[in-house]
Structure 1
C-alpha cells in the first residue's frame, strides 16, 4: 500500500490548471499569457528573494510571510502578461490610445507599464480560470502579487505583470488564517 500519495499529483494538477489558463477567453483570440511551474530550486530562490524584499522595511513585511508560504507549498505556478500588442479597440483605459501606448516611456516598478488594460483583464480571466480548477480538485491555493514581484526581479519569466499561485495539499489551508503583518 502507498500511504498519502496525494502530494505526488500536485505537479500534474498544476499543469491541468495551466491548460485552463491557456484556454481561457482572450480579447480577439490573441494570447499574450506566459505560464510556468517552478522547480524546487527556483522555488527556494524565489522565497529567498521575497525575504530580501521583506527586509526593506515595515511596509514590506508581508513578503516574508508569503515567502514562508512558498517554502511550504508543494508547487508554485507563475503566470504573466507579456504585453507586445494592444487589443486595438482604443478604449483609453491605459491612459493612451492603441497607436501610442507602445511608444510611451515605460516604468519598471513592481509591474512594468503601461500595458493594455484589455490584456491585463485577459490575465485576470486566466488567473480566475486556473484557480477554479484548483478549487474543483480540492487543492489549496492563493493568488500572490508578492511572488510575481520577486519572480520579475529574478527574471524567472518574461512579462510586465506577473502573479504566482502556490499550491498546497495539507490537512489545513496554509494560505488563510495567516498571522497579520
Structure 2
C-alpha cells in the first residue's frame, strides 16, 4: 500500500501548469499573425533575483512601496510565468492606436509601444491565466514582477513590456490576501 500526499506533488503540478500556460500564451491569436511574444518560466533562483530587484527599485526611487510587498509575496511561489513582448510596429495601415498616424511615423519613436503588441500580450496573458484557473492553481498577474524582470533583461533587451504570473497551491490565494 502506498499513499501520495498532495504536498509531495504540488511542485510538479505547478511546473505542469506553467508549461500549459506557456503553450496557451504561445497559441493565443496575434495581430497579422506576427509573434513578438517571449514566454518563460522562472523558478526559485530567478524568483529570488526578481524579489531582490523589486526591493532595489524601491530603494533607488524607481518603484512604489508596494513593490516591497510583492517582493516578499513572490517568494512563496515556486514558479512564475513571465510573458513579454517587443514593441515593433505590426505594419497595419491606418491603425493609429499607438498615437501616431501610421507605423512609419511610430518607427521614428522606437520607445513607444505598438498597440497591437500590447494587445497581443494581453490576449496571451488572458489565455495563460485561464489555464491556471482550469487547473485550480492560484495566481495573480503582476506588472511589478514584469518591471523587475525587464530591468534585469531576463527576456532579452528587445523585450520591453513584461508581466509576471506567480503560481501557488494552498488553502487560499496568497496573492490577493494583502495588507
> TM-score, normalised to structure 2's length?
0.90
Q: Relative to structure 1, is the Cα distance of residues 85 and 91 closer, same or farther in structure 2, using a 3 angstrom cutoff? A: closer
Distance 2:91 2:127 in 1: 21
What is the CA distance between 1:40 and its match in structure 2? 1.6
Where does residue 37 of structure 1 map in the other structure?
Answer: 41
Contact 2:89 2:106 in 1 (8 A): no
- Give aligned pairs, total: 172
Gaps of 5+ in 2: none
Where does residue 105 of structure 2 map in the other structure?
Answer: 100
Contact 1:27 1:87 in 2 (8 A): no
Gaps of 5+ in 1: 107-112
Does residue 1:22 correspond to 2:20, yes or no? no
Where does residue 134 of structure 2 map in the other structure?
Answer: 136
Where does residue 55 of structure 2 map in the other structure?
Answer: 51
Where does residue 156 of structure 1 map in the other structure?
Answer: 154
What is the CA distance between 1:56 and its match in structure 2? 4.4
Contact 2:83 2:164 in 1 (8 A): yes
Distance 1:150 1:172 in 2: 26
SS at match of 2:81: strand
- After TM superposition, the runs of 4+ consecutive aligned structure 1 residues lying more than 3 A away are none
